[in-house]
Chain A
Amino acid sequence: MTVVGTGHWSPAGAVCYRRVARGRIRDMNVVVCVKQIPDPADPGELDPNTKTLKRDVKLILDESDSYGVEMALQLVDNAGGGEVTLVSMAPNSEVGGLRTALAMGAAKAVLVSDDALAGSDSLGTAKVLAKAIERAGEADLIITATESSDGYTGTVPEQIAELMGLPSITFAKEISVEGGTVKVQRQTEAGYDDVEAPTPAVVSVTAGVVEPRYPSFKGIMAAKSKPVDEVTVADLGIDAGSVGWAGAGQEIVEIAAAEEREAGTIVEDDGEGFQKIVDYLAELKVI
């Protein structure tokens, strides 16, 4: 069994499974959807004319997806064979984020870049990604993040699953794959559930559950020559009218500044700061 996720993966288990349960090594192929986004440390702004995010900056790998890439690499490592393929949809043939994930150890990538995709909503994005995943070849697992850092709709994973007719498990903290079954610890309101599904399946992973590896110098050099299959909407057999602005089916009617909260009293602690809090809590009748 190969287990990756919060804290415990078990190489010992992996060896045992291969020798005893199957007697042979089975390849594991994982497709990871990775979004390339503007650096969140350098927030963009809304273009007042087109009402979209201005994106003339270089794109990087969404940190949320680095966990999925790490999980996929560990699953393949533990299985002892197979590869990780990346799928990304991004404007202007951007590969900055893909190169980072390739440097971490992914084998290859499919990049969908097409002007027709500008303005795509989550459904349009999922339609494109689903086709790109099919193009990437047969996969045991399709991994996404639970939500992207810049869009955070959190709907793309389930949309991909439904479009592909696959089962899905969202909010995974830990993943293991054993003989055609994926087992997941799925975060819940109260704790977590153990959930399993037959492969292939779509699994969305939450942030912070594994430590994404830093690309090594060797990895960075190797990434430069790894194949990136760049395709257009037409290459995927998608009708351009069903994606992008044309397919979005929604319009922004207004962009307005939100009401600001007024700053209150700020005091330097002179050893009596705690008393200010006590007085304030008493005033609010909390104590």
Chain B
Amino acid sequence: MTVSKIWVFAEAADGNVSSTTLEMLAKATELADTVECVTAAGADVAGELGAHGAAKVYTVGGTDGKLLGPAVSGAIAAAVEAGNAPDAILLATSYSGRDVAGRLSVKLDAPVITNIVDLAESDGSLVGTEPVFGGTTNVLTRFTGDKVGIFLVRPKSFTPAENPSGAAAPTEDLAAGDLGGTAAATITNRFVEEQSGPSLDDAAVVVSGGRGLGESEKFQMIEDLAKALGGAPGASRAIVDAGWVPYSYQVGQTGKVVKPTVYIAAGISGATQHLVGMKGSKNIIAINKDAEAPIFSVADLGIVGDVHKVLPALLEALQNR
């Protein structure tokens, strides 16, 4: 049995569809007969979305310089009201995804199932898996009513199609209707933090540092090691909160979810909120001076030692290769 129709809220930056969108499309096409997208990124993304399995792309306009929550939720709600309702809609646990899901939930008077890392069909309805207690326990939930099922999906939960070969999807405008004062928030300026090397999302190697580094200057060792390995630097929340590095470095429940080939955690204790962001990495190396640190419970290779000794020696060895 399959689900009849799923919509995916498609996000894009500078014309590039987000990786979480492609991940959701891969899962949706596995689960449903028809998969369609809703996007505020314009018709240009219809090619890529179609290749990844979208049969149609609904475009929502009038969002230039606006946060997406009000208009996109308004357009979806209007479509549902007009009788064009999917069984479920998948949105990413992202800045815009959450905004849209929250407003849509009120407009449809429908609940949201959040923090989903897996989706399955059972008796014709979708069941979402949410990890709790730092990923030690899974809670499987489904909707009981006949409303559109709104699921917020965590990044890196699914694998995007390897050979996207679908045809470009036809597009159709979706009007948002009257949003009243709700859409009054306006973006007046954008600031992009400079970044060199691969992004945390895409890097094959992630090297993260935590409070065990002792002081902010020592984060340079993490940057250097990441660079030497062609990877991206990451961080625990402790040192983000302490202002050593920007929030964009944060790995974990309230930061990024990463699944690189190799994750190196240096001076990180391994709190459950950090583990949920990196436990899916293929190989994990941990350096911590405390043999009892929880990070060792997920490490493939654990070095019980001082980061100030191990990291410089490691860097030197890599540079001499």
Interface flags for B148-191 (1: CB within 8 Å of A; 0: not) read: 00001000000000000000000000000000111111111111
**B17, CB-defined interface residue at 8 Å:** no
A194 and B187 contact, CB distance less than 8 A: yes
A268 to B113, CA, bound (A): 44
**B93, CB-defined interface residue at 8 Å:** yes
A153 to B102, CA, bound (A): 10
B182 and A167 contact, CB distance less than 8 A: yes
- The dominant DSSP class at the B interface is mixed
A287 and B291 contact, CB distance less than 8 A: no
A195 to B69, CA, bound (A): 14
**A286, CB-defined interface residue at 8 Å:** yes
Contact partners of A12 in chain B: CB under 8 A: none
Contact partners of B131 in chain A: CB under 8 A: 258
Contact partners of A193 in chain B: CB under 8 A: 187, 189-191
Of A189, A194, A248, A276, the most chain B CB neighbours within 10 A belong to: A189
B137 and A255 contact, CB distance less than 8 A: yes
> In the complex, which residues 255-272 of chain B have their Cβ closer than 8 Å to any Cβ of chain A?
261-262, 264
Interface flags for A164-199 (1: CB within 8 Å of B; 0: not) read: 011111110100000000000011111111111110
B303 and A154 contact, CB distance less than 8 A: no
**B114, CB-defined interface residue at 8 Å:** yes
Segment with Cβ contacts to A, from B44-52, B210-218, B293-301: B293-301
**B105, CB-defined interface residue at 8 Å:** yes
**A269, CB-defined interface residue at 8 Å:** yes
B95 and A187 contact, CB distance less than 8 A: yes
**A20, CB-defined interface residue at 8 Å:** no
Known: A189-B95, A194-B189. A250 touches B111 (CB 8 A): yes
Of B102, B183, B253, B291, the most chain A CB neighbours within 10 A belong to: B102
User: Taking CB as reference atom, which chain A residue is nearest B149?
Assistant: A250
B296 and A263 contact, CB distance less than 8 A: yes
**B103, CB-defined interface residue at 8 Å:** yes
A62 to B237, CA, bound (A): 16
> In the complex, which residues 248-281 of chain A have their Cβ closer than 8 Å to any Cβ of chain B?
248-258, 260-261, 263-269, 271, 273-278, 280-281
A161 to B183, CA, bound (A): 11
Least CB distance from A171 to B in Å reads 6
Contact partners of B136 in chain A: CB under 8 A: 257-258, 260
**A162, CB-defined interface residue at 8 Å:** yes
B111 and A196 contact, CB distance less than 8 A: no
Contact partners of A169 in chain B: CB under 8 A: 67, 185
A162 and B185 contact, CB distance less than 8 A: no
Segment with Cβ contacts to B, from A25-33, A84-92, A97-105, A118-126: A118-126
B240 and A208 contact, CB distance less than 8 A: yes
Known: A276-B303, A287-B321. A266 touches B296 (CB 8 A): yes
Among A46, A170, A207, point to the contact of B254 (Cβ < 8 A).
A207
Least CB distance from B308 to A in Å reads 11
**A158, CB-defined interface residue at 8 Å:** yes
Known: A159-B103, A168-B185, A249-B145. A153 touches B114 (CB 8 A): yes
B296 and A155 contact, CB distance less than 8 A: no
Contact partners of A152 in chain B: CB under 8 A: 114-115, 253-254
Of B182, B241, B298, the most chain A CB neighbours within 10 A belong to: B182
A116 to B122, CA, bound (A): 30
A168 to B147, CA, bound (A): 25
**B42, CB-defined interface residue at 8 Å:** no
Contact partners of B137 in chain A: CB under 8 A: 46, 255-258
| Other contacts beyond A166-B182, A250-B144: 4, CB < 8 A | A121-B112, A123-B110, A161-B102, A162-B73
Interface of B with A (CB < 8 Å)? 13, 67, 69-70, 73, 93-95, 98-99, 101-103, 105-107, 109-115, 122, 127, 131-133, 135-145, 147, 152, 180-193, 204-205, 229, 237, 240-241, 247-248, 253-254, 261-262, 264, 279, 283-285, 287, 291, 296-306, 309-311, 313-314, 317-318, 321
Q: List 8 A-B contacts (CB under 8 A).
A: A123-B105, A154-B98, A162-B107, A173-B247, A190-B13, A249-B110, A254-B140, A268-B305
Interface of A with B (CB < 8 Å)? 43, 46, 121-123, 126, 146-147, 152-159, 161-163, 165-171, 173, 186-198, 201, 206-208, 248-258, 260-261, 263-269, 271, 273-278, 280-281, 284, 286-287
